[in-house]
């Protein structure tokens, strides 16, 4: 799977636009990648997915990778956070249970 990041093409979101109501961290729940991403067959071309910046949380599974935001696109069924180190996908919510990856 190829992961592209247009971070250099677009300026980072203004910090004042981020949610800031006393919630210090996100609660992450691992998702089955087959539910989140349309996988290609072994004999087809590789899947290219664009990321849209990093988040402050690290991967809870491998504890190494910084998570990247992946928005819905042609082969992506739902927005999620992606770890390139262990290729895991995560949903995120605030401590009050409100989804963090919805507009």
Two structure tokens written together for 66: 């910084």
Is 7 a member of any domain?
Answer: no
State how many domains the chain has. 1
Residues 23, 36: Cα–Cα separation, whole Å: 26
Closest CA to 34 of 3, 83, 76: 76
Any domain includes 68: yes
Reported as a single tens digit per residue, the pLDDT across 5-52 is 554 444 444 444 445 555 568 899 999 988 888 876 665 667 778 889
pLDDT value at residue 25:
80
Contacts of 33 (CB under 8 A, 6+ apart): 39, 87, 88, 89
**How distant is the alpha carbon of residue 70 from its chain centre?**
4
Higher pLDDT, 92 or 47: 92
**Full domain range(s) for residue 94:** 25-103
Query: How far is C-alpha 97 from the geometric centre of its chain's CA atoms?
Result: 18
| Token pair listed for 17 | 């636009």
């Amino acid at each position: 799977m190829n992961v592209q990041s247009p971070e250099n093409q677009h300026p980072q979101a203004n910090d004042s636009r981020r949610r800031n109501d006393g919630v210090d961290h996100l609660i992450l729940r691992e998702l089955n990648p087959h539910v989140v991403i349309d996988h290609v067959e072994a004999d087809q071309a590789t899947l290219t997915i664009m990321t849209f910046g990093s988040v402050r949380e690290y991967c809870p599974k491998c504890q190494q990778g910084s998570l990247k935001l992946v928005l819905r696109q042609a082969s992506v069924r739902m927005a999620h956070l992606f770890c390139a180190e262990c290729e895991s996908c995560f949903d995120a919510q605030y401590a009050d249970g409100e989804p963090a990856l919805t507009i």
